[in-house]
Structure 1
Amino acid sequence: MTDSKVSRARGADKRRRLTAAAARVLHEQGVERTTLADIAGAADVPVGNVYYYFKTKDELVQAALGEHAARLADLTGGLDRLPDPRDRLKGLVEAWMSGRDLAARYGCPTGTLAVEVGKRADGTLDAEAGRVIRLLLAWVERQFRELDLPDPGGLAVTLVAAYQGMSLLANALRDPEIMTREGARLVRWLDSLAPDASAS
């Protein structure tokens, strides 16, 4: 491997580490309390190097949102291997439930970030946060559509809103069991849904 290829590979590795660290630290501390030095430390990258990859904290927030989108794509891509859309949806709920301790401590990674950037006056990042949530809504809607259920878009909003609500309550009350109980309720709800016979 040539020196330039080694240098590019190292640079790509640093950028990946900074992006992953930004997603984690911003989730744990919030945008306002997080410094570039916090993210550099979590990524084990000298703070001066951060500016080579990200000029501002907003660029790191955008990278963190990209990381959330990539994680969502990994999760839904894995669930897409299941043949039944109802099982895919239940798998999504189970994934949410498996993150109950993190949700109780910090809330939903994307949802909390969306709320925080949505309150800023400049409005530059809220569209990006909304894009990640729309990706989730679109995937969930596709599953409901495959199940031939009426109003798949509305059902998608119901399911994602339930997740956001249970994450918020688990965080506010510091009670991960809210995720467990409400997740089980969502699984039962998914099992109860049947195609609209009047539509056929």
Structure 2
Amino acid sequence: MTDSVLRAAAPKAGKRERLADAAAQVFHEQGVEKTTIADIARAADVPVGNVYYYFKTKDQLVQAAIGAHAHTAQEIIAALEQYDAPAERLRALVRGWVDQRETVARFGCPSGTLATELDKRADGLDTELADVMRGLLDWIQAQFTAMGRDDARELAVALLAAYQGISLLTNTFRDPDMMAAEGRRLEAWIDSLA
């Protein structure tokens, strides 16, 4: 259950959605500052002149990329909700993260790397991405609450922090096996809390 699997199953999006998805992908792979509008147009298979019809500035593309991250997070959460028990949902979330380990080894966590880059700016886009990540944190907390845990918020923060930390290390050392090992540890940790 990864965002690439979810996107492959989705019908072909319109140009605006393709540009937003492409922006999210290219910003992840190259960073916001190194990415040009032409890079995004190429990735979206849209003529570069058409980009300006939908997005007047690069910052509007950043905002659209944040929206794409939010949409992906909602799709992932909806897919995880199909599992019966909250611990199963959390283990499936961890497995989804681990499934992305090759990409994370090359480029880092899609949301985490964008959050780090946007944090250096003072234009409010960082808080928009924080809201996306807060939505995932709140969902994780709800799972721990459903497991009867009084310390659900702390556990949710610990789980998300463990993922962000291992994403950084996996990327730094270009070692996807690090994420696989941490994924196994996190699944066992979730089992111990159930």
- What TM-score comes out, normalization by structure 2 length? 0.92
Q: Distance in 1 between matches of 2:111 and 2:80?
A: 19
Q: How does 1:61-100 map to 2 (within 5 A)?
A: 61-100=62-101
Q: Paired residue for 1:171?
A: 171
Identity of aligned residues (%): 57
Q: Write the letter of the residue equivalent to 2:135.
A: L
The residue matched to 1:22 in structure 2 has which SS?
A: helix
Q: Paired residue for 1:24?
A: 25
Structure ID, larger Rg: 1
Q: Paired residue for 2:162?
A: 162
Q: Distance in 2 between matches of 1:124 and 1:105?
A: 28
Count of matched residue pairs? 182
1:80-126, CA deviations, whole angstroms, 9 ceiling, x for partnerless residues? 11110000000000000000000100000001000100011x23210
1:3-50, CA deviations, whole angstroms, 9 ceiling, x for partnerless residues? xxxxxxxxx711111111111100000000001010011111111111
Q: How does 1:1-200 map to 2 (within 5 A)?
A: 13-120=14-121, 122-194=122-194
1:161-188, CA deviations, whole angstroms, 9 ceiling, x for partnerless residues? 0000000000010000111000100001
- The structure with higher relative contact order (CA 8 Å, sep 6+) is 2
* Unmatched tracts of structure 1, length 5 or more: 1-11, 195-200
* Unmatched tracts of structure 2, length 5 or more: 1-12
Q: Distance in 2 between matches of 1:150 and 1:186?
A: 19
The residue matched to 2:14 in structure 1 has which SS?
A: helix
Q: Write the letter of the residue equivalent to 1:167.
A: S
Q: How far 1:145 moved relative to its partner?
A: 0.3
Q: Write the letter of the residue equivalent to 2:31.
A: G
Q: Distance in 2 between matches of 1:129 and 1:13?
A: 23
| RMSD, aligned α-carbons | 0.9
Q: Distance in 2 between matches of 1:188 and 1:123?
A: 40
Q: Distance in 1 between matches of 2:57 and 2:157?
A: 33
Runs of 4+ aligned structure 1 residues displaced above 4 Å come to none
Q: Distance in 1 between matches of 2:90 and 2:108?
A: 21
Q: How far 1:129 moved relative to its partner?
A: 1.0
